[in-house]
Amino acid sequence: MFSRRNRRTPRPTSPALLAAWETLDAGDVPGALRQVRAAGEEQPLNEVALVVGRAAGAAGFADLADAAAALTAAPEEARALYDFGYACVERGVPDLAIPALREALRRSGGALPVLRELVSAYEDEGRHREAVTELVRHEGRLADWPDRYLLVYNAVLAGDLELARRQHALLSAPEDAQWQPARDRQDRMLARAADAERAGRLDAADLRGWQYVMGGTVLGTLSPYGFDEGMNGRYAWVQDTPGQCLRGLLRLRSLLAATGVRPRSVSLLPDRDSRILGLAAAEVLGLPAEPFAAGRTDTVVVAYDLDGLAAHDDGPELIGELFERAPGQVLHAHACCWTDPPAITPDSAALLHQSVVAPWGEQLRQGADGGIERGPADDRPEAEIAAGITGADPSAGPGDGDGPADGDAAFAAFATAVAGTWLRGDRARVRSAGPVPGSRFA
């Protein structure tokens, strides 16, 4: 709880920010920050800093509290604006950094370090088009590394491949070796874009195409629900089914056949969800199943949800071992969160979701009184549950009729078209949702 407010302490005069201040009086830091965000980006920056600084102090973020105090005292100083924005980015609230960094950029005459921090904040918020606009505005002064590289990267994620290719052609080879992996990833991204353009529309609704461009993930299925309501092939909350698991594995089998990849085994990860799905995958693919071993070649590593794997005791170590792809190794994740992407990017994903409950998890059901309750998890042996997957009906749900067709033939054609650029490079995390918009739910 907060101590009694000193009456001489300055208070915001903006009604919206004053409401956030009074929310802090009640000890609700997250609620106050939500109100600051809802107030918009045109609020007085010194008053924003006043509220954010008090919230940061309550949360124990001394660096942000100090930067906010400095901005409150000197709201027209470029350094104070930059330091506040920098601290906001570091503390995970990049949206609150953007107005201060924009003003710092203006007052500093376009200083490149300020520009880079503003671009970083835009990237964290998925506002790639605005990052591109700022970088293009200062194009004549950009260094190749990192500035022009950032322009290419954000242009791709904004869906502007023409600009990305033009700027990429101007990039010199990096003199500093630390930038070479980034250059290699960007080369692969643009090569994948060329394949994806041949495979489909690659427009603002082509979720499968853009998932492939961004990280090399071949997306197995598209959600048949809410396409015209902003989901564009993604799921929000999924209560998963054995049939949906089987459909994802059949798409994986089709992908392997279309690309000519011939694994010799299925590698079982140690978490229960992944073991269940891995046993089913071994049956569907007609391959032996064996425990995962780092560096094993020509194998399909099967995860139900990479976030679930990360939570396992050995998860961090396994994630590190999967970052670099062994020859012939394919990483398949059934469920992949798009609002908070996993630490590594899978080569194949059956579906994109915001929240998922496995078929054998504690699913919601109607109780005896007609209300909704959470049922118990299925504690049967893993092999028995896996057999239920392989015997399920893999037919796609009817959906609401607004989404595009997602037939097997179209998927196989896409897989064939991208065979030459699939399974290349590392599995670096892709934080962005990319050019295809999606509705997020709290």
Residue 238 has pLDDT above 60, yes or no: yes
Q: Which of 12-26, 103-117, 168-182, 390-404 has the lowest mean pLDDT?
A: 390-404
Same domain as 160, residue 232:
no
138 lies in a domain? yes
The total number of structural domains in the chain stands at: 2
Same domain as 147, residue 98:
yes
Residue 420 has pLDDT above 80, yes or no: yes
Same domain as 154, residue 299:
no
User: Which residue from 120, 78, 80 is spatially nearest to 98, judged by alpha carbons?
Assistant: 120
| Residue 408 token pair | 């097997």
The answer to whether 350 and 246 are in contact (CB under 8 A) is no
192 lies in a domain? no
Same domain as 239, residue 374:
yes
Residue 411 sits in a domain of what CATH number? 3.40.50
Q: Which domain does 28 fall in, by range?
A: 15-170
> What pLDDT was estimated at residue 384?
98
Mean pLDDT of the region 181-200: 96
Residue 392 has pLDDT above 60, yes or no: yes
Same domain as 391, residue 267:
yes
User: Which residue from 336, 389, 394, 395 is spatially nearest to 359, judged by alpha carbons?
Assistant: 389
**pLDDT tens-digit readout, 261-292:** 999 999 999 999 999 999 999 999 999 999 99
User: Which residue from 102, 136, 138 is spatially nearest to 120, judged by alpha carbons?
Assistant: 102
Same domain as 342, residue 224:
yes
Mean pLDDT of the region 294-322: 95
Q: Which of 149-153, 175-179, 326-330, 371-375 has the lowest mean pLDDT?
A: 371-375
186 lies in a domain? no
Residue 397 has pLDDT above 90, yes or no: no
**Residue 4 pLDDT grade (very low, low, confident, very high; cuts 50, 70, 90):** very low
9 lies in a domain? no
207 lies in a domain? yes
Residue 6 has pLDDT above 50, yes or no: no
> What pLDDT was estimated at residue 442?
61
Paired sense of beta strands 372-374 and 364-366, if any: antiparallel
Paired sense of beta strands 355-357 and 237-239, if any: parallel
**Domain end (from 120, 147, 170):** 170
Residue 401 has pLDDT above 80, yes or no: no
**Residue 8 pLDDT grade (very low, low, confident, very high; cuts 50, 70, 90):** low
Same domain as 346, residue 248:
yes
Question: DSSP string spanning 322-338?
Answer: HHSPPTT-EEEEEEEES
Mean pLDDT of the region 62-68: 98
299 lies in a domain? yes
Q: Which of 26-30, 241-245, 397-401, 426-430 has the lowest mean pLDDT?
A: 397-401
Neighbouring CB atoms inside 10 A of 180's CB total: 11
Mean pLDDT of the region 321-325: 96
Average pLDDT of the residues of the chain: 94
Same domain as 218, residue 150:
no
Same domain as 244, residue 101:
no
Residue 413 has pLDDT above 60, yes or no: yes
> What pLDDT was estimated at residue 405?
82
Mean pLDDT of the region 288-303: 98
User: Is residue 212 within a helix (H) or strand (E), and if so which, with residue range?
Assistant: helix 207-215
Same domain as 272, residue 149:
no
Same domain as 38, residue 113:
yes
Share of the chain above pLDDT 90, in %: 88
Separation between Cα atoms, residue 437 and residue 247, nearest integer Å: 25
Residue 151 sits in a domain of what CATH number? 1.25.40.10
Mean pLDDT of the region 111-133: 98
User: Between the CA atoms of 57, 63, 67 and 69, what dihedral angle is there, to the nearest 10 degrees?
Assistant: 30
Share of the chain above pLDDT 70, in %: 98
Mean pLDDT of the region 332-342: 96
Same domain as 227, residue 107:
no
8 lies in a domain? no
The strand ranges marked E within 245-399 are 265-268, 289-291, 299-305, 330-337, 348-353, 355-357, 364-366, 372-374
428 lies in a domain? no
